[in-house]
Amino acid sequence: MSNSLVPYSFTPGAKAKAQEVNANFIALAEKIEENREYTKTQIDETIEKIEASSSESEAKKADKNLGNTSLISNSILEAPNGVVTASENIITVKEGLKVLIPDGFNEDGTIKSITYEVPEDINVTAVNNSYVNCIYVTPDGCGYAQAYLASAEKNFDKRGIVYDISENKSYLYNTDTSDWEPIKAVVVALYTITDNVVTFKEIEKPVRVLSYADRNAVLNWMMPCYKNAVSKVWESW
């Protein structure tokens, strides 16, 4: 009788040698240990894959700010101290304002954004003109421009900021070069200024983002229009 797991085979009814029996036991024990180590390795690898998959799924799950999703951009996430205030011709962008700055698309086609929080109150001095101006936030600071437009074109009036919906990017018109130049910015308010007094026309509201607790309600929704996911909500004055 032979077995590939052990080195010696025996004839039924014949007397076996003790050393051969011992050798067979040792060989069998080694095979069992090899199988145990292999099984343990396979189990450990499977656990690692499950944990990695769970972590990836958890990262994709909506948190209270949707900061880890790819569904919205060009928006305000939080405004614990308000968005902007004005005193005569000085506009203050408030500390703690958290925004999603549009930054194009990822390789898989999902919306790409930069999450930025204003570290302290930032003052912007407005200049008298006859336009409806805008206040914008960038990772490098805050500024103003003459006019704001969300469109798929960049040739309107040749001034101010245009948010190109099809690219999910913003462009600022450079009067020196007579060209639209990309800028990582999000517009947070529109205003007019006369006799050095600022009047806000519209102030963007923080988006009402979904939480994981909303999942049951979301399951009953119809599929949204993808481009509408980046629209703004304004507060009229």
Say if strands 122-125 and 111-117 run parallel, antiparallel, or are unpaired. unpaired
pLDDT grade for 67, boundaries at 50, 70 and 90? very low
Question: Mean pLDDT over all residues of the chain?
Answer: 80
**Domain boundaries of the chain, sorted by first residue:** 1-60, 75-236
Considering only residues 212 and 197, tell me which one the structure prediction assigns the higher pLDDT. 197
pLDDT grade for 16, boundaries at 50, 70 and 90? low
pLDDT at 65: 45
How far apart are alpha carbons 203 and 79 in whole angstroms?
Answer: 11
**The pLDDT of residue 25 is above 90:** no
How far apart are alpha carbons 160 and 120 in whole angstroms?
Answer: 25
Residues 103-121: what's their mean pLDDT?
91
Residues 48-75: what's their mean pLDDT?
66
How far apart are alpha carbons 163 and 169 in whole angstroms?
Answer: 6
Considering only residues 10 and 120, tell me which one the structure prediction assigns the higher pLDDT. 120
Residues 219-228: what's their mean pLDDT?
60
